[in-house]
Amino acid sequence: MNIKILNQIATQMVTESKGILAMDESHGTCKKRFDALNIEATEENRRLYRDMLVTAESLSSYISGAILFDETIKQKTSQNLSFPDYLKKIGILPGIKVDTGAKPFSCHSNEKITEGLDNLPQRMEGYKSLGAKFAKWRAVITIGDDIPSTACMIANSHALARYASICQEVDIVPIVEPEVLMDGPHNIQECFDVTNKMQSILFEELDKLDISLSGIILKPNMITSGSDCKIKSSSEEIAELTVRCLGNNVPIEVPGIAFLSGGQSDTEASINLNNINKLNDNPWKVTFSYGRALQLEAMKKWNGNNHNNLDAQKIISKRAHMNSLASSGQYNLSMEND
Cα-based distances in Å from 265 to 8, 116, 319: 32, 30, 12
For the chain, which residues make up each domain, given as ranges? 3-337
Contacts of 257 (CB under 8 A, 6+ apart): 14, 217, 218, 219, 220, 246, 250, 284, 285, 286, 287
3-337: which CATH number, 3.90.1150.10, 1.25.40.10, 3.30.870.10, 3.20.20.70?
Answer: 3.20.20.70
Query: What is the residue type of 174?
Result: P
Are 95 and 134 within 8 A, CB to CB? yes
CA-to-CA distance for 264 and 276, rounded, in angstroms? 15
The 3 state secondary structure assigned to 310-331 is HHHHHHHHHHHHHHHHHCCCCC
Q: pLDDT tens string for the chain (338 positions)? A: 899 999 999 999 999 899 999 999 999 999 999 999 999 999 999 999 999 999 999 999 999 999 999 999 999 999 999 999 999 999 999 999 999 999 999 999 999 999 999 999 999 999 999 999 999 999 999 999 999 999 999 999 999 999 999 999 999 999 999 999 999 999 999 999 999 999 999 999 999 999 999 999 999 999 999 999 999 999 999 999 999 999 999 999 999 999 999 889 999 999 999 999 999 988 899 999 999 999 999 999 999 999 999 999 999 999 999 999 999 999 998 888 87
CA-to-CA distance for 274 and 243, rounded, in angstroms? 12
Task: Of 106, 133, 103, 131, give the one whose Cα is nearest residue 118.
Answer: 103
CA-to-CA distance for 169 and 4, rounded, in angstroms? 13
Pairing of strands 102-104, 112-114: antiparallel
State the catalytic residues: 177, 219
CA-to-CA distance for 124 and 122, rounded, in angstroms? 5
Are 283 and 252 within 8 A, CB to CB? yes
21: buried, middle or exposed (CB in 10 Å: 19+, 13-18, 0-12)? buried
The DSSP output letter for 215 is: G
